[in-house]
Amino acid sequence: MAVSPARAAAFAILLRVEREDSYAAELLHSEPLAALSSRDHGLATELVMGVLRWQSLVDERLAEASSQKIERLDDEVLIALRLGVYQLRFLSRVPARAAIFESVELVKAARKRSAASFVNAVLRKIAGAPAEGAFASIERLADERSTDAIGLARASAHPLWLVERWTERYGFEAARQVCTFDQAVPETAIRIHGEQSAVGNTDGELAAAGVQLAPGRLLAGARRVLAGDVTASRAYVEGRVSIQDEGSQLVALLVGRGEKLLDCCAAPGSKTALLARRNPRAEVVATELHPHRARLLQSLNRLPNVQVVAADARHLPFSGAFDRILADVPCSGTGTLARNPEIKWRLKIEDLHDLQLRQIAILKSVLAHLVAGGRLVYSTCSLEREENEAVVEAAVEGAMEFKIGDCRGELEQLRESGELRWKDVGSLLAGPYLRTIPGVHPCDGFFAAMIERR
């Protein structure tokens, strides 16, 4: 009997994540998976994201049951075992015999037939162990015994060094909320573009297409998808709807209105689209370093005011000046672990220094293109100070023509205009900066600073 399409797809994706530093979310939405039925795609997504979210606990269980050190196992064998353990201990609806059989078949199909009996023995041993109840349920994180960083890191399947940093920076309770948020399937948020009447029409159109929506938690212009496939809707295909986390939408709103805008690290383009639609008469230039990612932005060509340029933000190939700039720079992504759980297993503390140097270089470069009286928004989806406050402070140090603006005023204006629904504006601030914390706020973790040129 052949391996099911869902498990074969999950195995292939996890292997690429392990070997190539690929991102699971991108692979799950790639063309090869388009042939899967919605049911198989759903199971493949559950398996891939579940294994990655709970990988340390999965490996801990494997280590207890295996006669071999798991770090010495071939990648194919390790991935097949992880898939088996996740199904046995995390998915109550999957029969044990199916989880074991298909993991064995996966190693055979991967030309590791000699390991088949080993995989079978390990998984049978795990399947025969006493029931562990909520072995990896999110409810574990509320266990009162997890009262320190070590207990929280283990229970929530997070690296200890990250949990220790968050505990020190934000406090233990906030760190627990971050970890809880990271281990749950995040809500899908969308933004419906257009005037109020058009938004209302699109709401109705999506409802007719079977997409069930709820109001945004942060923003009036956002919606949360409760059920249905937005990507199959005509509104999505035509660009009238964008999938975008509410925190990401809020960052773009901070940029404000201008006549000439630059988004200097623009892919995949959701913030660019929001800026262009919010400033329909403005000229918007969107740059992206990698040509293949710049090609992703070509879909924005349906917006007549957007020009896409493949360019390094550290060395922009033009001398023009802009009154509004968004520098949403490449970062560690520690604020997006619910969507990108593989990051927590590959990120190292020394990576933060390398990222910081690149971020400072980008920020200093694009600041040179800001006109007097203009505004630049520097942002990341990182929770780490090295990539946030430290970058801003380093970039403006000694440059008297620049000043750090206070995000409070802009947030209060958004609140007064009805665009910001979140009542506690102060909770969104860390000094003059915007700071969203996953779990504390209903969105990914974002940082944003407003820099103005005198």
pLDDT digits (tens, 9 = 90+) for 260-297: 999 999 998 999 999 999 999 999 999 999 887 887 78
Percent of the chain with pLDDT over 90: 83
Task: Give the torsion sign (CA, 266, 259, 392, 169).
Answer: negative
User: Rounded to 5 degrees, what are φ and ψ at 216?
Assistant: -65, 155
Buried b (16+ CB within 10 A) or exposed e, 55-68: bbbbbebbeebbee
What pLDDT does residue 22 have? 92
DSSP string across 279-320: STTSEEEEEESSHHHHHHGGGGGGSTTEEEEE--GGG-S---
pLDDT classification of 1: cutoffs 50, 70, 90: low
Mean pLDDT of 330-352: 98
pLDDT greater at residue 212 or residue 138: 212
Mean pLDDT of 378-395: 98
Beta bridge partners of 189: 224
CA dist list (Å): 446 to 69, 277, 420:
38, 22, 16
User: Rounded to 5 degrees, what are φ and ψ at 163?
Assistant: -65, -40
What pLDDT does residue 177 have? 96
Q: Which CATH superfamily is domain 246-453 in?
A: Vaccinia Virus protein VP39 (3.40.50.150)
Identified catalytic residue from 331, 381, 407, 443:
381
What whole-number distance in Å separates Cα of residue 439 and Cα of residue 47? 23
Domain boundaries, the chain: 5-127, 139-182, 188-243, 246-453
Q: Where are the alpha helices (DSSP H) in 347-387?
A: 349-367
Mean pLDDT of 324-340: 98
Q: Can you tell me which residue has the tokens 């023509």?
A: 401
What whole-number distance in Å separates Cα of residue 196 and Cα of residue 221? 9
What pLDDT does residue 134 have? 40
Mean pLDDT of 127-153: 67
For the chain, the distance separating the N- and C-terminal CA atoms, rounded to the nearest angstrom, is: 70
Half-sphere exposure of 109 (CA within 13 A, CB side): 18
pLDDT classification of 151: cutoffs 50, 70, 90: very high
| pLDDT at residue 138 greater than cutoff 80 | no
Mean pLDDT of 225-253: 94
pLDDT classification of 137: cutoffs 50, 70, 90: low
Q: Can you tell me which residue has the tokens 């078949």?
A: 105
pLDDT classification of 17: cutoffs 50, 70, 90: very high
Average pLDDT, the chain: 93
What whole-number distance in Å separates Cα of residue 380 and Cα of residue 285? 20
What whole-number distance in Å separates Cα of residue 5 and Cα of residue 33? 10
What pLDDT does residue 10 have? 97
pLDDT classification of 31: cutoffs 50, 70, 90: confident
Q: 381 an active-site residue? A: yes
Tokens at residue 11, please?
């195995």
What whole-number distance in Å separates Cα of residue 130 and Cα of residue 365? 59
Q: Which CATH superfamily is domain 188-243 in?
A: Sun protein; domain 3 (3.30.70.1170)
pLDDT classification of 197: cutoffs 50, 70, 90: low
Q: Can you tell me which residue has the tokens 């944003």?
A: 448
Cα angle 235, 240, 244 (rounded to 5 degrees) comes to: 105
Mean pLDDT of 318-331: 95
Mean pLDDT of 321-335: 98
What pLDDT does residue 195 have? 74
CATH among 1.10.940.10, 3.40.50.800, 1.10.287.1120, 1.10.10.60 for 5-127: 1.10.940.10
User: Rounded to 5 degrees, what are φ and ψ at 280?
Assistant: -65, -20
